[in-house]
């Protein structure tokens, strides 16, 4: 409940400058447009990629970018956590009778990321309506799970990067390798990469569990039990749980910066 109260407060505060808010939202709509245009032009030139058609790749693209936009919009508090630690404001959160994770999560929202969200949703609708797929309730449910699972994975990476701030004070750019880098890799079907890349982004950071593998089930390309592919997006929840435990360990051993 307190998370939604934080959300309401931030939304109203950002709307105080409406022109700025809507211009930023419009800008966020066009930022990933060049990336999608590159995808379109590549398929326009080569026709297919390792057996994947344009709309199949576009569906993978839309799922990952929707998940990334949702995490940027609603979990940005962890991404900017270094400023809370460096300014000593995290000490104030510790004395409040509420979860530190929820308070940090609610410390910042980027509602202008809705622009990216809308662009990705348009690509998703275009891909879904263009693919010759016999949609069922199970496939629709799997698609929703893919987006939710991807959001949890990005949030977990933000949480791990924030935990490092307990020892480094400042945020480390290395986390961008797994957020921005992971997004760039997972926006295409993973079987187009080297095997070690597929293994890393399936078993270490499970982007493959929320994009490539369940996509095989939706496109009727499965080579095994369909139920297993349907449940793969739950890997996002499995990933975020140890991230939360690492965060709790960091909070336990945190000592004030004295600032």
User: CA 128, 131, 133: angle at the middle one, nearest 5?
Assistant: 95
136 strand-pairing partners: none
Write out the chain's pLDDT in tens, 259 residues. Answer: 777 888 888 888 888 888 888 888 888 888 777 888 888 888 888 888 888 899 999 999 999 999 998 998 888 888 778 888 877 788 888 888 888 888 888 888 888 888 888 889 999 999 999 988 888 899 999 999 999 999 999 999 888 888 888 887 666 666 777 777 888 888 888 888 888 888 888 888 888 888 888 998 898 888 778 888 888 888 888 898 999 999 899 888 887 766 6
Nearest to 102 by CA among 255, 241, 244, 240: 244
Residue 32's pLDDT is what? Answer: 73
Residue 258's pLDDT is what? Answer: 64
Residue 64's pLDDT is what? Answer: 92
Q: Where are the alpha helices (DSSP H) in 187-258?
A: 195-199, 207-210, 212-218, 226-231, 235-252
Residue 169's pLDDT is what? Answer: 66
If you search the block for the tokens 């959300």, which residue do you land on? 7
Which residues, in sequence order, are CB contacts of 119 under 8 Å at separation 6+?
A: 29, 30, 32, 33, 36, 65
DSSP state of 259: -
Residue 173's pLDDT is what? Answer: 67
* pTM, rounded to two decimals: 0.88
Its sign, for the CA torsion 47, 49, 50, 55, is negative
Residue 257's pLDDT is what? Answer: 65
> Residue 245, SS3?
helix
Q: 171 burial class (0-12, 13-18, 19+ CB within 10 angstroms)?
A: buried
Task: Compute the distance between CA of residue 231 and CA of residue 146 in angstroms, rounded to an integer.
Answer: 9
DSSP E strand stretches across the chain = none
Residue 20's pLDDT is what? Answer: 85
DSSP state of 222: -
CB 168 within 8 A of CB 255: no
Q: Which residues of 43-58 are buried (b: 16+ CB within 10 A; e: fewer)?
A: beeeeebeebbbbbbb
* Helices 54-74 and 137-168, packing angle to 10 deg: 50
């Amino acid at each position: 409940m307190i998370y939604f109260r934080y959300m309401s407060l931030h939304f109203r505060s950002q709307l105080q400058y409406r022109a700025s808010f809507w211009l930023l939202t419009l800008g966020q709509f066009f930022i990933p447009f060049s990336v999608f245009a590159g995808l379109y032009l590549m398929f326009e030139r080569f026709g297919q990629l390792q057996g994947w058609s344009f709309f199949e790749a576009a569906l993978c693209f839309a799922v990952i970018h929707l998940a990334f936009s949702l995490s940027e919009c609603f979990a940005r508090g962890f991404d900017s956590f270094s400023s809370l630690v460096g300014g000593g404001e995290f000490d104030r959160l510790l004395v409040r009778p509420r979860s530190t994770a929820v308070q940090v999560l609610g410390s910042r929202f980027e509602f202008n990321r809705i622009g990216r969200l809308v662009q990705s949703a348009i690509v998703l609708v275009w891909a879904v309506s263009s693919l010759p797929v016999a949609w069922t309730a199970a496939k629709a449910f799997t698609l929703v799970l893919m987006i939710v699972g991807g959001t949890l994975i990005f949030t977990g990476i933000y949480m791990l990067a924030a935990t490092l701030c307990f020892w480094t004070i400042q945020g480390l750019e290395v986390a961008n390798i797994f957020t921005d880098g992971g997004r760039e890799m997972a926006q295409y079907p993973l079987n187009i990469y080297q095997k070690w890349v597929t293994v890393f982004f399936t078993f270490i950071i499970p982007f493959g569990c929320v994009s490539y593998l369940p996509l095989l089930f939706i496109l009727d390309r499965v080579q095994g039990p369909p139920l297993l592919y349907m449940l793969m997006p739950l890997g996002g929840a499995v990933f975020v749980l140890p991230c939360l435990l690492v965060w709790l360990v960091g909070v336990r051993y945190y000592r004030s910066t004295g600032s």
